[in-house]
Structure 1
């Protein structure tokens, strides 16, 4: 059966602390697959990770047949690498994909703090990667004054700087041009604010392809789309596509930890997944109510005022 289906190779990288969100993420991937799509999933992990032997993700076979999971042990590489903004060492593992995934010449990479809402085969097979190392979505945060200055200081054009949470990678060309050692050198000697994202943009400069924002709907992109803000990076039609069926990327606070934009989308997927735990669900929202009850009257007024005047809570 697998041989008759359309195979899409997808790579994830995460540690034990993100196993449950990873399960929800992959659930959304499989849930929205077309009947003929088969996801060949690779997961890169450190040697000391326990989840590859836990059988947790294999529970997905109880509901889906359109996938396979292969684990790849990266060893202890990058164990002393620079960490910032609560981003873990596993974020660097995507830089090793050309070396570790020899089964394919082109693959997708995705973070696990996302929810898929559409099949990925169209964008994967329609994207011409012949002359590019990597393809991704432009970084909306680059449009601000500080973002532009930071990226310009890296020697990059802010209009060509891409997000690293959802990528298509030309592994054949990356291997042919020996790019992984350049990635590794940057990791070992740098202290970039955006870590792997900066490194990918620096090393792959000149061989980066733009993808539509539907492939990586970050918080900033959803704000642009919902408010129909005119800007130079995305068309209004592209932004409307994000609202309808774009990948939802929780690139800030996480919906399984606290209140955040688009949390309803994550929780809906969680409730439909085989990983749904009614007690976790109940306790989460009870704790949020308790947090609100502990706020001072003035803080509550400020929150309500911000919600009704600006439409968001920070």
Structure 2
């Protein structure tokens, strides 16, 4: 039996996406894969006592859910772009989960399309604190300048939404304490992601982009754009089997790339609500007509200018 420990951190707002995310995880589990799932949450969260995620036992058997209450840690920490304090909880994983020396972490705005045991077991994390996928922002001059100010190499900077953590080494070097100091010290643009890259600098392992298919990575793959971060073969794998990470617009809120995949898993999940499904798409039929006049003018102007620039 392949036991794969996986950690999620989220608040009550994301309980539905979490249910769909874990559904996709279990749908692709091999017969010999068992997911030991840990969920870090604040004291104020209600979902651990509702049995919402435990509904999945009606359909799947190869998993277990463990809740870990982190109390009010990081209360009042810097928030930006609607990313809440729960994003910082991943920094506590080495101290909160003592059962394992190596775990995966994933955001819940994610759809899995493959069993994760092969990648997890084949990734040697010796002498590395954390493994992740290179940040596409480094391909842009403005983002390179920002990372340079943080004294970070843009080619080594990784995304924090999907990680493999060497808990043994993180504990040995008391890295959680350094994480906490950085949270208190500054208002970083990318919050936990900046902090992980700053503190773990020099001990970060690059993982293939199939492990974290953001919207930007899917764009590179679909357009076959030349760049220096990922190989053509790696990008081809993203299109076929890559983890889909909705790091921008969320498919349960609005239209976005790969939204069809999320809705496919939602429709086939135990959480499917026909009314929610119907109303989401029905309301989109006249969405632009219901926008304020100024907003519509801005949209028209943007597309007019875009056409002129081509």
TM-score (norm: length of structure 1): 0.94
SS at match of 2:265: helix
Match of 1:184 among 164, 180, 183: 180
Correspondence 1:166 to 2:162 = yes
Match of 1:49 among 35, 39, 45: 45
Correspondence 1:220 to 2:216 = yes
Using the TM superposition, give the Cα deviation of residue 190 of structure 1 relative to its aligned residue in structure 2, in angstroms: 1.2
Match of 1:246 among 242, 245, 250: 242
Paired position in structure 2 for 1:255: 251
- Cα distance change of structure 1 residues 252 and 300 upon mapping to structure 2, 3 Å threshold: closer
Distance in 1 between residues matched to 2:165 and 2:237, nearest whole Å: 23
Cα deviation per residue 1:260-305 (whole Å; 9 max; x = unaligned)?
Answer: 1111111111111110000000010111112133367877877988
- Cα distance change of structure 1 residues 302 and 275 upon mapping to structure 2, 3 Å threshold: farther
Gapped regions of structure 1 (runs ≥ 5): none
Correspondence 1:209 to 2:226 = no
TM-score (norm: length of structure 2): 0.95
Distance in 1 between residues matched to 2:47 and 2:290, nearest whole Å: 37
Pairs within 5 Å for 1:14-163? 14-163=10-159
Distance in 2 between residues matched to 1:287 and 1:190, nearest whole Å: 41
Distance in 1 between residues matched to 2:151 and 2:187, nearest whole Å: 16
Using the TM superposition, give the Cα deviation of residue 142 of structure 1 relative to its aligned residue in structure 2, in angstroms: 1.3
Correspondence 1:283 to 2:279 = yes
Distance in 2 between residues matched to 1:188 and 1:14, nearest whole Å: 21
SS at match of 1:259: coil
Deviating above 6 A after TM superposition, structure 1's stretches of 4 or more consecutive aligned residues are 296-310
- Cα distance change of structure 1 residues 212 and 306 upon mapping to structure 2, 3 Å threshold: farther
SS at match of 2:287: helix
Gapped regions of structure 2 (runs ≥ 5): none
Correspondence 1:193 to 2:216 = no
- Cα distance change of structure 1 residues 307 and 263 upon mapping to structure 2, 3 Å threshold: farther
Distance in 2 between residues matched to 1:61 and 1:305, nearest whole Å: 52
Cα deviation per residue 1:88-115 (whole Å; 9 max; x = unaligned)?
Answer: 1000000000000000000000000010
Distance in 1 between residues matched to 2:221 and 2:121, nearest whole Å: 26
- Cα distance change of structure 1 residues 308 and 281 upon mapping to structure 2, 3 Å threshold: farther
